[in-house]
Amino acid sequence: MSVFGQSVMRLEDAPLLRGEGAFAADIDFPRQIHMRVVRAEMAHARLVSVDVTPALDLPGVIAAWSAADVAEVPPIPFRATKVRGLEPYCQPILAQGRVRYVGEPVAVIFAEDAAVAEDAADLVLVELEELPALLDAAAEPTDFDATRNTEPTIVRKSYGELDAAFRDAHVVVALDLAIGRHSGVPMETRGAIARYDAAQDVLELHGTAKKQHWNRDEIARLLGRAPSSVHLFEGHVGGGFGVRGELYPEDLLVCLAALRLRRPVKWIEDRREHLVATNHSREQRHRIRAAVDAEGRILAIDNVFFHDQGAYIRTHGARVADMSAGLLLGPYRVPAYRATGHFRLTNKTPAATYRSPGRFEGSFVRERLMDAIAARCGLDRVEVRRRNFVDVSEMPYARPLDALGTDVVLDSGDYALLLDKALARFGWDARVADVARRRAAGESVGLGLGVFVEKSGLGPSDGVRMTVDATGAVELVTGAASVGQGVETALAQIAAAALGVDYRRVRVVRGRTDRIEFGSGAHASRVTVMSGSATHQAGLALAALAKQTAAALLQTPEDALEIVDGVVRRVDTPEGASVTLGEVARALAPGTKLSRDRATPGLTVESWFHSDHMAYPYGVHLAQVALDRGTGQVKVEHYLVGYDVGRAVNPMLVEGQIAGGFAQGLGGALYEEFRYDERGQPLSTTFADYLMPTIAEMPPLDILVTEDAPSPLNPIGVKGAGEGGTNAVGAAIASAVDDALGGRGQVTQLPIMPRDVLRFLAEGAA
């Protein structure tokens, strides 16, 4: 039986279980020194002066820099999209002229010991002249600098006859909705360890994640080096979720210091720093309107929103706002649409992507809108969704929209079928009856739903190199990365199934720029689709080469051969003459007769997979909640995630992605928020203030993984599985809480805090 599709155990686990992992803080080099960052303590201020001399006087301190010392290094760039003109808003590696958020790097200390560096950082004198802090992205923009305001761009997308649709509508439903600021917050904080190998003239950066090749190219460019003289390495990564592995000021600072000071430089972020310095996400306010006909069918949607980007534009540019505009419509047929996304800066930590970026937000907004349409039209909430679904017969379904620079073409999907399956599995009808009975007895209980379309498999290209060595061991070198989600196991399974070996014989090499020239890393649910497809192709090509070679060795026609468990043998006489893949590899070693017929020796192939469009998985979230009328607590009593991933390479890993993603979505729906006081001081700077779900908050969770709509866009039919668990949690919980309150549409913001619930209950009683 093929290992593709089997819930086999992970290859990653043994070192992680034994405490033998290699996370960033675990990496040490001889003669290393430690970096500490001095951070701004005001949200917005003129930077009058920075005096590092008191720090330099402390024994053990080697160097201390402020902006003037790094003036030649350009600001951190962003990955290109269609949006232009964002360059002036990028972040310098140390603050210049103004500080724009609490936590912004102002100076850096380098010392023999991490504790000494921290002591020295306290001695740096930073003189600030406080300016008014801008904290509301929906408020009027103010000055960014002498010539620019705090709205770098407006993301606009539209199609169809919007004005006519609103003019002719039976009803117009308008909502004002907001999503709170929260983020990935992985358990491992960031870290960066740079060393300059003068003997080889190579700069190395360790502790990296997610986007090694792009980061390598940019570090090289910003520091004036050839990319081939800079290499990034990935060890273990303690969670990514979008925020980890982007290029941050600290990455450039350790690299610059390693070059200047000629010693390895180590920086490990502490948790307080993480909560104010690593990318935030999600904060968005939508003023959305829908034009609807008498049957509850959507005629048009007008989506005006305000994206709170925080103080600077980081490596994603305007991508989250772009996706919030381009992917809002989800599974529904919408004849006319207009998005106006005000992409605005505030005096908070810069923002970027977090698991299901733009879609967690968009699903909350769209599904709140669907509930409101149902209420206005007097329709059942499930029925209004069914009436508006894009039908399976319409697939592939091209929307006249783009997102991330590619046209939005829904590749496959049967949304109505998954909704039916999910409702049946959840026992929706029985729960409706049960909820009615409990309400009659005085309880505040409710049901909610969210239906969504995810996206995955962002192209354009991914390649792998797959090699069998003389012992029969397989090495798969990929430009993908791992953030702890099981990439090695999934790619090994695909490789093993295509080639015909035990997946445990496949070693996956990832996250290293010195082993493969190009790569796209791990993000946007792309690895299994893109790198997985390249791996599948490589495995098939390697199998063909092995059979071709074995045919010569065994004097047998190629098409009479099969490869099972690393042995090439005859299909008709499996017990007869055979050769192992190791023997085939030896027969193709340099100088052998057979190798001379080929461009390169060895049992090795390189394969590239290209894709112009994304693959769109889709899902249904269903929730049952009960409200505590005394405390305002929301108790999630039962939850179901139904998700169609096309094909599951390893169902156990897919379910793991969904369960973990759900927990993060639950945090954003009910608990997690980066809060600020009126002067922009962050209030969520410890894990006692920034509340992530513990096991005590986890409800009974049911997961339904379906494979009804394999993607036609790749040879293995897969769609990404990483983000569907998170996508509609805010939507479904909000729907259920609102239902428990009587379905009045009171829930318009995330997270839903106990004080909000108490207010809603009081409003309802009034």
Phi first, then psi: what are they for 126, rounded to 5°?
-115, 115
Close Cβ partners of 688 (under 8 Å, ≥ 6 residues apart): none
Q: Between residues 226 and 695, which has the closer beta carbon with respect to another protein?
A: 695
**CA 256/CA 404 separation, integer angstroms:** 32
CB distance 717 to 709 below 8 Å: no
Residue 295 is encoded by which pair of tokens? 């049957």
Q: How many residues does the chain have?
A: 766
Q: Which is nearer to another protein, 17 or 765 (CB)?
A: 17
Given the complex with another protein, which of 302 and 655 has the nearer CB atom?
Answer: 655
**Which residue type sits at 288?**
I
Query: Do the Cβ atoms of 70 and 256 come closer than 8 Å?
Result: yes
**Cβ 653 to another protein shortest distance, Å:** 7
CB of 283 to another protein, least distance (A): 20
CB of 273 to another protein, least distance (A): 11
Q: Which residues contact 460 (CB under 8 A, 6 or more apart)?
A: 610, 611, 612
Minimum separation from the CB atom of position 178 to another protein (A):
24
Q: Provide the minimum distance between the beta carbon of 81 and another protein in the complex, in angstroms, as a whole number.
A: 28
Q: Which of 456, 486, 457, 414 is nearest to 706 (CA)?
A: 414
User: How many whole angstroms separate alpha carbon 346 and alpha carbon 134?
Assistant: 5
Q: Minimum distance from CB of 250 to another protein (Å)?
A: 17
Whichever of 11 and 95 has its CB closer to another protein, that residue is: 11
Quote the least distance from Cβ 659 to another protein, whole Å: 3
- Residue 687 CB, shortest distance to another protein, in Å, is 4
From residue 398, give the alpha-carbon distance in Å to each of 47, 205, 333: 50, 42, 11
Please give the helix or strand (H or E) that residue 283 lies within, else none.
Answer: none
Give, in degrees to the nearest 5, the angle at Cα 27 between 24 and 32.
Answer: 120
Decide whether 21 or 602 has the Cβ nearer to another protein. 21
CA distance to 21, 43, 48, per residue, from 96 (Å)? 38, 14, 10
3-state helix, strand, coil in the chain (%, to 5): 30, 25, 40
Interface with another protein (CB under 8 A): 9-10, 12-14, 16-21, 23, 25-26, 115, 184-189, 236-239, 241, 270-271, 483-486, 652-653, 655-656, 659-660, 662-664, 686-688, 692, 694-696, 698, 701
Q: Name which of 567 and 669 has its Cβ closer to another protein.
A: 669
Q: Which is nearer to another protein, 236 or 368 (CB)?
A: 236
**DSSP annotation of 389:** B
Closer of 167 and 271 to another protein (Cβ): 271
640 and 732 Cβ atoms separated by less than 8 Å: no
Q: What are phi and psi of 62, to 5 degrees?
A: -100, -40
For 132-167, give the DSSP string: PPP--TTSPP-BSSSS-BS--EEEEEEES-HHHHHH
To the nearest whole angstrom, how small is the minimum distance from the Cβ of residue 419 to another protein? Answer: 23
The residue among 334 and 490 lying less far from another protein, judged by its C-beta, is 490
Q: In the complex, what is the shortest distance from the CB of residue 671 to another protein, in angstroms, rounded to a whole number?
A: 12
Dmax over CA atoms of the chain, in Å, equals 90
Cα–Cα dist 452/198, whole Å: 52
The nearest distance, CB 452 to another protein, in angstroms, is 19
User: Residue 4 or residue 354: which is nearer to another protein going by CB?
Assistant: 354
Nearer to another protein, 27 or 546 (CB): 27
What one-character DSSP code corresponds to residue 512? -
- Rounded-to-integer distance, Cα 409 and Cα 765, Å: 47
Q: Which is nearer to another protein, 494 or 663 (CB)?
A: 663
Write down the least CB distance from residue 448 to another protein, Å: 19
Instruction: Tell me if residue 216 falls in helix, strand or coil.
Output: helix
Instruction: State how far the Cα of 757 lies from the Cα of 746, in Å rounded to an integer.
Output: 9
